[in-house]
Amino acid sequence: MLAGGCFWGMQELIRKQEGVINTRVGYTGGENKNPTYENHPGHAEAVEIEYDNKKTSFKKMLDFFFQIHDPTTLNQQGNDRGPSYRSAIFYINEDEKKEAEKFIDIVNESARWKKSVVTTLEPL
């Protein structure tokens, strides 16, 4: 799952990528088990992505993710502010975590952004 601001906007961009089969938006990474729009303390707005790994990859999803949001703003994307709009990668296993860590290093080294990446890595 990827979080980078409003989940509707992220979903619209991600679902158009080659190899993406399905997307679903929701809240994750917070305090309560059944978050809602009105009650989602600590949760991030995120997009769950189902993809065909013969046509795309987790790495390609990360590459696109870092192109469509600003990973250097803490708890904010554009006018949306607060922890629900944080930049985060919710990984499902250690391989995804390691790949995300490497990718964040690459993004930081690229100097594409003037500030350092603040994207968090959180277990799903």
Q: Letter for the amino acid at 4? A: G
β-pairing, 120-123 with 87-91?
parallel
How far apart (Å, rounded) are the C-alpha atoms in residues 124 and 4? 16
Residue 110, H or E segment: helix 94-110
CA distance 65 to 8: 14
Question: Among this protein's residues, is 2 annotated catalytic?
Answer: no
Q: Of the residues 2, 6, 77, 102, which is catalytic? A: 6
Please count the other Cβ atoms lying within 10 Å of the Cβ belonging to residue 70.
16
Residues taking part in catalysis? 6
